[in-house]
Amino acid sequence: MPLFNDANMETHNIGGTGFGFSAKRIGDLGASEYTLVSLAVDATGSVTGWQGKIEDCIKAVVKACRKSPRADNLLLRLVTFNTSEGVREVHGFKPLADCDVDKYTDTVHPAAATNLYDASFSCAGALNQYGKDLTSQDFAANGIFVVITDGDDNASKTTPTMLKVEVTKGVTGENLESTVSILVGVNVTDPHMSQRLKTFQTEAGFTQYVEIDNASDAKLAKLADFVSRSVSSQSQALGSGGPSKALTF
């Protein structure tokens, strides 16, 4: 059940995949163009002990995005992922003004193994499906999704190749003007794990991979700033015909 569930949200299926999402009723939207933002956060057993810092990072992203000159044109969706809860939607696509940051406390429940590919696929598929719904009703839309993890996949039913195809469909299917995808490795100190995530970036076609070696307050604050700037940049690119340029972390 989405955390911020309300009567103005509708549920959608990502065709033929078993994944779903919720989103603001299109008839209740006030602008003519939107950037769709999907944020997926690792909630596996290995993040035990620093889940509160992850939640603070999410809050910081939302607060920073609210300061964007395009804040009224952003719709945010948040999911957490592990094999205990699956890909769990905290809330679907909704305006930043409807997101109470205090409610992000106790949203990350560390448990079990890493379904990284499934969470990433859910992000891309939700962007594409809601983008299709918006463009069919004459809204302009582009998208960005950010996946934050501290480990490699060991439990998904989807594959990097499936994700790459889904991301490509966003533009080729004319569902979105453009899509930016960012993979973030957090607390990555093992060179082998670093290489595995870089390989996933390549195989799945992520626009960018960034990495921090620990989950200190300073590093996570820097990450929150980077994510919010990337979201704002992609939103400002809407109407240009292409994606925003990758920013320096």
Residues 239, 243, 247, CA angle at the centre, nearest 5°? 125
Whether the CB-CB separation of 134 and 169 falls below 8 Å is answered with: no
**Domain-embedded: residue 27:** no
**Domain-embedded: residue 53:** yes
State residue 5's pLDDT score: 53
CB atoms within 10 A of CB 36: 28
User: How many residues does the structure list for the chain?
Assistant: 249
CA dihedral 67, 147, 204, 195 (to 10 degrees): 120
Q: Could you tell me which of 244, 235, 157, 169 has the C-alpha nearest to residue 208?
A: 244
State residue 18's pLDDT score: 83
d(CA 102, CA 31): 26
β 86-95/140-149 pair status: unpaired
> Could you tell me the two tokens for 167?
């991301």
d(CA 109, CA 80): 8
CB atoms within 10 A of CB 239: 9
Sorted by sequence, the CB contacts under 8 Å of residue 56 that are 6+ apart come out as 217, 220
> Could you tell me the two tokens for 20?
């779903």
State residue 238's pLDDT score: 97
Q: What is the pLDDT along the chain (249 residues), one digit of tens a residue?
A: 444 456 789 999 887 778 999 999 999 999 999 999 999 999 999 999 999 999 999 999 999 999 999 999 999 999 999 999 999 999 999 999 999 999 999 999 999 999 999 999 999 999 999 999 999 999 999 999 999 999 999 999 999 999 999 999 999 999 999 999 999 999 999 999 999 999 999 999 999 999 999 999 999 999 999 999 999 999 999 999 999 999 999
| Distinct helix (H) and strand (E) counts, the chain | 5, 8
**What is the count of structural domains for the chain?**
1
**Domain-embedded: residue 8:** no
**Domain-embedded: residue 102:** yes
CATH (domain of 136) = 3.40.50.410
**Domain-embedded: residue 56:** yes
**Domain-embedded: residue 21:** no
State residue 6's pLDDT score: 65
**Domain-embedded: residue 204:** yes
Across 131-237, the runs of DSSP E, i.e. the strands, are 140-149, 179-186, 208-212
Q: Could you tell me which of 249, 11, 3 has the C-alpha nearest to residue 130?
A: 11
Whether the CB-CB separation of 66 and 54 falls below 8 Å is answered with: no
One-letter identity of residue 182: I
Sorted by sequence, the CB contacts under 8 Å of residue 239 that are 6+ apart come out as 33, 140, 177
**Domain-embedded: residue 243:** no
The boundaries of the domain holding residue 182 are 32-215+230-237
Q: Where are the alpha helices (DSSP H) in 77-115?
A: none
The number of CA neighbours under 13 Å toward the Cβ of 40 is 32
